[in-house]
Structure 1
């Protein structure tokens, strides 16, 4: 293979001095590679079905960053024998913060003008996280939070990649500086100078070991917790180290010639094929991330510059370089456009509108790069490190402060404080008392709480620690209702989050009835039975332990069972249920759902089974939560109502248990559809209360408004 000596480049500089005194120019193909990466990401976000793996463009950026930054730091270490960390960080700040803070500020303003009020707080929270460059950790936490499962992506969610990069820029030079310091100390004691080859070898050992540890963790964690693994920094460090190793091994050399060009094109094929054939179900960023990242290394190390067939020639064409120059801004601007455009016009879903939007993104990116980012990066007044740091702190504080003020100001304007939960016609009370309250369906009373506050109910638990996580070991429990010293018996609540949902009303009912309320619920875990082995899920093990606990506790007189109509299929229990001939006609899933009811009835417990509540917007607006719909349609709340037949999306085995156990002593069925639906219509707002906090869980305030109604429906189950 022939070798071609070409320069490594710092993104902000077009050239630097070679060791032999000649002028060393930046690698234009790197900009072309950036253009390819950002194009993949943009196409993926606008047309995810067409380029299902376009997210690998982010990994290409990570490898390039590791390559360029390590090359720069290594040259500085060789030339000066030290690393000026403050100057390095100041350069990174001048390169990255101006555009990112501009986009964050523009997004904070646009959010309160374009998005429904339900999205303001979530967007502000992530704007703050993005400004502080911890967005990836926030998303990692949200990815496993059951309460955030129905949340839509915010307009700054893409800043998670910038957070990972900034964390790399902070930690990487510290690691290399520490390595340099140890090496310098050893050579000083030996009385000899620090050699370039010795420094390269030491850096390679440290970088290689870190990369190996990160890759091993990435493979493990992607298999164990894929939702979190996608965002956390340790699973991504090895991608930076691939670029770093390439920089340290290559130095200023690249391999060209026929075979070098073949390998370069092979690298492009690896990147493009992963973009086309990967998808959201691909385990990532474990070992599958090797395809695009190793492909990136091949393009950086190998290629041809011959016109027409040289891969580096194609990547060095002026359009590719221009898009590469704008790639950072394009990445920042494109995602807010993706999020905002559907709220501006329904036409945004059309392909030709998307093309125009992308063209607009390119134009604003070119302008912001030329007239905002570049002048600030080159401003002489910011060259002193302390001034750069002070300007960065000021800019970050301004973005956070202005975003907070914008959201709080708009929320204050939209808050209706005239209505309270004590109003005699609030929520379900208006539904059940039309003679006094009049038409309860159209929300003449106003809205309280606001749609945004209703959404927050999913994050602010009324009863913390009263619901176990799906993978939590053992049985989580909490006691509510009457004080233990005054209580006469216990009511147990068994089920998933749709059982936890009823706790605000059941707490009131238990207190009024002088009973303790024992909550035994687990998120995303249907109240089913079945065989339990060592390999069974924590859900299945927990359910068995709960059933045994209830059966063997004489203080528990009444058991309330509730669950979602959305669940998996379950295997039938081996235990024979006393259902007679009707049991022979039931599928395994139904029998699994009915086993706990059968066992509890055999234990002489009073069993109250709540029917499944309607699932709103399943057919009509599946991407929009009901509070969001209300926020967008406050002038016509009926737009958010749903037909009852459209809300019955599954078999609803708990509702159908009424037919199976109708003649069983101790069995009580509690209907729930009529709490929100009348005349075939299920309502989004009743008596000024938004009925749902998402599309499948009733809001806390609406549930509490029906405490008296539930008490009446549970009377025979509680009092026997």
Structure 2
């Protein structure tokens, strides 16, 4: 901590009065509680019924920056320095009790309500939320194509709290550094604070605009793209004593700010990219309301916001925000719907308010107001660890259990025999005999290529490959393409070991053998390099996908880019075996099965909605001498329906990737068809 020197040049001059004025104006204000109350209710309303951004979180961020900077200004005024440990300790007493209460409730309730395939996600995000890193975890998930289809977890609302806590960690060092630099240069106390805070806000805003346009999904959770909202509030806390508005302007700006706050979410276009420049609108509304509510003559809007009912609700708005989301998530899951009717939604809001009041009364206040909590600087930190321990212990225990289930399931998969007599898919109505372990591990156990550096990243163009099967063999088979190709690796690995074949996995995320429209630019370069790699490796055969079913508006077809790559291999004298693509379902089969154990037809899809009436690749057999085709669709669909469970096997791990366990069950059938096509390679 930086202490001022006793010399006169380091004492507060006329700017100390400004800071004192700022601390006074930043003190408790009922109108700000009213703003927080409206923001919390708006967030809940938009989450429940509109599935849109309300702007309420952005307003929360501005208010947090304004109020917390006021706290630090009062520290400067009272102690001639910033005391970060005291500042953070007080925040722990304010935040941790409610946060840990909600997290522990969500974890316990989640065990009984959340489907087994989503358990791992809930545990993972609970741990990140407890450590105030949920926003960073959601950023990672947003760019992880295997996690994109996962539904929002019951703790996803903690991304905003994680962002706030990260700002609270950043604010004292920024202000301390600005004060220290100002004193070194002999500058007045206020100016370096204004410059430091202003520069951080401006840099973050510019970054937010650029990054939101480039990566809109991950930017929503990116703290660097959000910090300008907090620092706008901080800047306002420093400038507010210098802002003087007449009564007319106060009333005009107050009503304009309130109208903007209430109407922004309704008028903002669906799918607006947040935060970016559009977040300037709710941020400006928050600034106008804070400014017009300051001083001895607050605006008409501010007096309305300060009424006792809104102010009372504002005092528990933090709890309302935390509670509404898991209640909503659990209600949707329990009712088996994606939308609530008006009465159900109102019950969620009423219950969130009731739980927030109880948490505030029986958890927050006793801890925050107890005398022992103020005796030592370290006491709040000890309290925080004590409250955090049950959450971390519960999550860690559950995670340990799942880890053991995964280990057992891997062993079971290794022992699974892939019979050449495995029957085609048959309709199965009940999942009563389906092991819970299969559901728990459906999204966890992946083909071996996902480990290490064997399945190239989306943005990388370098060709990488790993050896499977009989890695010492001289006869080589290359498995080439995207994730719909590498999903067959478990079966080919077993076939390779049984027949003395080295299986080279040469795959890349979201990149088939033949880059199609919409592929990442690196996919085109990867495909160009891949031909050179295959020319050098000279495998006996290349195995890839012959069709695609993943285009959202088109039924199964053969992209022209696939044909062009096969033609290049024909020129190299390398045979191609194309495996017909599996159906894309458009829903998550594992969670669907967990929800509809006694009615599995609810988790099926009409065959004609995904697969063509006949294999579209067949018409190209006469054009390419090196092309051979395998159609495994009879093991995925009946004549009418594409299934998700058959013969007590869960067939998919997500909406368009096969479950490795089911692929292993099909290894005998796949091996039989490969040996019929190329006996000189697969009968050894």
- 1:328 is aligned to 318
1:615 aligned residue (584, 597, 609) = 584
Matches within 5 A, 1:441-456: 446-447=434-435, 449-456=437-444
State the SS of the aligned residue for 2:506. strand
**Which residue of structure 1 aligns with residue 6 of structure 2?**
none
For 1:487, which of 474, 496, 503 is the aligned residue?
A: 474
CA pair 33-394 structure 1, distance change in 2 beyond 3 A: same
Structure 1 residue 239 displacement after superposition = 0.8
Does structure 1 residue 559 correspond to structure 2 residue 519? Answer: no
The residue correspondences of 1:79-90 to structure 2 (distance < 5 A) are 79-90=78-89
Counterpart position of 1:374: 365
Separation in structure 2 between the aligned mates of residue 76 and residue 135 of structure 1, nearest angstrom: 30
> Structure 2 stretches of 5 or more lacking a match?
1-18
| 8 Å contact kept, 1:230–1:284 | yes
CA shift, 1:446, in A, is 4.5
Say which of 626, 629, 634 aligns to 2:592.
629
* 1:547 counterpart residue number: 531
1:39 counterpart (38, 41, 44): 41
Q: Secondary structure at the match of 2:658?
A: coil
- Cα displacement (A) at 1:701: 1.5
Paired with 1:253 and 1:315, the residues of 2 have a C-alpha distance of 21
CA distance in 1, matches of 2:95, 2:66: 17
Whole-Å Cα distance in 1 between the matches of residues 593 and 240 of structure 2?
Answer: 59
Distance 1:719 1:265, change over 3 A: farther
**1:415 Cα offset (Å):** 11
Superimposed CA distance per residue, residues 542-563 of structure 1 (whole angstroms, 9 cap, x where no aligned partner):
223223443x336223121226
Which residue of 1 is the match for residue 638 of structure 2?
678
Q: 1:302 to 1:440 in 2, by over 3 A?
A: closer
- Map 1:149-298; keep pairs closer than 5 Å: 149-184=148-183, 187=186, 198-251=188-241, 255-278=245-268, 281-298=271-288
* Conservation of the 8 A alpha-carbon contact between 1:97 and 1:392: yes
**Alignment CA distance shift 1:147-1:587 (3 Å):** closer
Distance 2:436 2:413 in 1: 8
1:308 touches 1:314 (CA, 8 Å); kept in 2? no
Matched, 1:349 2:349: no
Note the alpha carbon deviations across 1:181-227, whole angstroms, 9 max, x for none.
Answer: 3444555xxxxxxx9xx211110011111112212222222222222
- After TM superposition, the score normalised by the length of structure 2 is 0.87
Kindly indicate whether residue 380 of structure 2 is the aligned counterpart of residue 388 of structure 1.
yes
Looking at structure 1, the residues matched to 437 and 406 of structure 2 have their Cα atoms a distance apart, in angstroms, of 11
The CA deviation at 1:329 is 0.4
Query: Matches of 1:706 and 1:633 in 2, distance apart?
Result: 25
Alignment-derived partner of residue 109 in structure 2: 110
- Alignment counterpart, residue 356 of structure 2, candidates 340, 361, 365: 365
Local SS of the residue matching 2:146: helix
After TM superposition, give the deviation of residue 472 of structure 1 in Å.
1.6
Once the two structures are TM-superposed, the CA of residue 34 in structure 1 deviates from its matched residue by: 0.9
1:574 corresponds in structure 2 to: none
- Kept in 2: contact 1:326–1:365 (CA 8 A): yes
Give secondary structure in 1 for the equivalent of 2:314.
helix
Q: Is the Cα contact below 8 Å between 1:66 and 1:241 reproduced in 2? A: yes
Residue of structure 1 equivalent to 2:660: 700
- What is the deviation of 1:693? 0.7
Q: Which residue of 1 aligns with 2:507?
A: 521
Alpha carbon RMSD of aligned pairs, Å? 3.7
Residues 329 and 564 of structure 1: CA distance in aligned 2, closer, same or farther (over 3 Å): farther
Look up the match of 1:474: 462
User: Which of the residues 291, 304, 313 maps onto 1:301?
Assistant: 291
C-alpha contact 2:603 2:643 (8 A) present in aligned 1: yes
> 2-side partners of 1:587 and 1:633: how far apart?
28
Tell me how far apart the structure 1 counterparts of residues 191 and 509 of structure 2 sit (CA, whole Å).
Answer: 51
User: For residues 663 and 114 of structure 1, what CA distance do their matches in structure 2 show?
Assistant: 54
1:25 CA drift (Å): 6.2
Partners in 2 of 1:639 and 1:308 — Cα distance?
62
Kindly indicate whether the alpha-carbon contact (under 8 Å) linking 1:416 and 1:448 is maintained by their aligned counterparts in 2: no
Preserved CA contact (<8 Å) 1:428 1:686: no
In structure 2, the partner of 1:649 is 610
Per the TM alignment, residue 136 of structure 1 is displaced from its structure 2 partner at its CA by 0.9
Distance of 1:418 and 1:148 partners within structure 2: 21
Offset of residue 260 of structure 1:
2.2
Alpha-carbon offset, residue 280 of structure 1: 6.0
1:657 CA drift (Å): 1.0
Hey, what's the Cα distance between the residues in 1 that align with 2:481 and 2:388?
Answer: 45
Q: How many residues align?
A: 659
In structure 2, the partner of 1:667 is 627
Residue 521 of structure 1: how far off its partner (Å): 1.9
The Cα offsets for residues 235-284 of structure 1, whole Å up to 9 and x where unpaired, read as 11111111111110113866351122212222234334431233563222
2:567 maps to which residue? 598
CA distance in 1, matches of 2:499, 2:69: 69
Which digits, 9 at most, give the CA deviation of each residue in 1:622-674, with x for residues without a partner? 3xx2222233344x26345524426x437699x30112325743221111211
Q: Give the secondary-structure state (helix, strand or coil) at the position aligned to 1:349.
A: coil
- 1:476 and 1:327 mapped to 2: Cα distance? 51
1:449–1:689 Cα contact (<8 Å) kept: no
Contact persistence 2:163–2:223 (CA under 8 A)? yes
Counterpart-to-counterpart distance in 2, 1:496 and 1:652: 24
1:658 pairs with 2:618 = yes
Q: Which moved more, 1:395-404 or 1:438-447?
A: 438-447
In 2, Cα distance between equivalents of 1:500 and 1:184:
62
Task: Please list, as runs of the form range in 1=range in 2, the aligned pairs for 1:33-72 lying within 5 A after superposition.
Answer: 33-49=35-51, 52-54=52-54, 56-72=55-71
Quote the Cα distance in structure 1 between the aligned partners of 2:60 and 2:447. Answer: 34
Q: Distance in 2 between matches of 1:645 and 1:256?
A: 70
Q: Kindly indicate whether the alpha-carbon contact (under 8 Å) linking 1:692 and 1:699 is maintained by their aligned counterparts in 2.
A: yes
Between the aligned partners of 1:146 and 1:21, the Cα distance in structure 2 is: 47
